[in-house]
Chain A
């Protein structure tokens, strides 16, 4: 497995052999198909961090159900920030890899 991006708390990998993506959440590793990885990116992008600070999201948690409801996670504000970083970094790396692959 090759590291795509490492953020505080989490690391994303690409597995060429299984053509899948893996996120190490610290206590648990979850394997994503590309579609599931896209769906997770969409969920994370839609987290409105400003609500965590304005008091609108009083508890400061985000509940996420992943991979066709196989996993459920509860993330706090710190982890949400890290997730945004993780997904942004991972997709930037994937894009760079595509550019590199196309130029070879």
Chain B
């Protein structure tokens, strides 16, 4: 019997399913960042708002990268439905904590797919995902840097405003030399 699946598909079917789940997660992450941007905008934290608008775009970029990869390799990518986006937050600190948790969860999910690729000898996808492994490391570092600002500067009085103004620097300091 001919191996029709291999003729049509360069990646493993199970991995394709996991990548589709990852597409959902990236889309959810993008929407969650948009909600955070909105909260910051409404609370006059314009630098953080811009930071989360940019993050939202970045997550969508990640989603599209996976989406194209699945389709380019003969699979079928499914446009995700986004539900349960949280819009209410207690404070800016809670937002950055949630953002870090979200990034950790995405990292874990990427690592799980890499693990699956190794188990199934899907080297094509594993190679593709190496970019995401590095990217996630940087994303986590950035969110940690934001949370460190809360420890350093506090949020009393002018502290919160000054902290917000420092937010663009955490992205800049994340850029490669």
What residues of chain A have their CB less than 8 Å away from a CB belonging to chain B? Answer: 2, 14, 16, 19, 21, 34-35, 38-39, 42, 91, 94-95, 97-98, 101-102
Contacts and interface: CB of A to CB of B under 8 A. Distances in A.
Interface of B: 1-9, 13, 74-76, 78
A101 B76 contact: no
Contact of B5 (A2, A39, A42, A94): A94
B176 to A, nearest CB: 38
B8 to A, nearest CB: 4
A38 B13 CA distance: 9
The main secondary structure of chain B at its interface with chain A is loop
A97 B3 contact: yes
Contacts of B78: 42
Contacts of A21: 4
B5 A98 contact: yes
A14 B1 contact: yes
Contact of A98 (B6, B74, B75, B76): B6
Contacts of B13: 38, 91, 94-95
